[in-house]
Amino acid sequence: MNIQDFLGLPLEVGQNFFERQGKQVKVLKTIPNNNSNVSFDEHLKDPYILRIRETDINCIELLISFF
């Protein structure tokens, strides 16, 4: 499976896969602007993977955001 296939998937799915592969996973969080009428707590339920970067042979960095 290609590493880029995990873009847009929930964090839990990607993190579990990479950890089973023996990779160390670093998660970087981004928080969206709250210009909508939706409460901030609702945004924190489902983080999704926006960017994947291999920082080392055994380390993956995941940039996530909440939608």
Query: What is the domain-level CATH number for residue 51?
Result: 3.30.10
pLDDT at residue number 28 = 95
pLDDT at 61 over 60: yes
pLDDT at residue number 3 = 78
The string of pLDDT tens digits covering residues 10-48 is 999 999 999 999 999 999 998 766 665 555 555 567 899
Domain count, the chain: 1
pTM score over 0.85: no
Cβ density class 14-26: b for 16+ within 10 Å, e for less: bbebbeeeebebe
User: How far is residue 33 from each of residues 20, 21, 27, 48, measured CA to CA in Å?
Assistant: 33, 34, 19, 16
Range of the domain at 48: 3-66
pLDDT at residue number 59 = 96
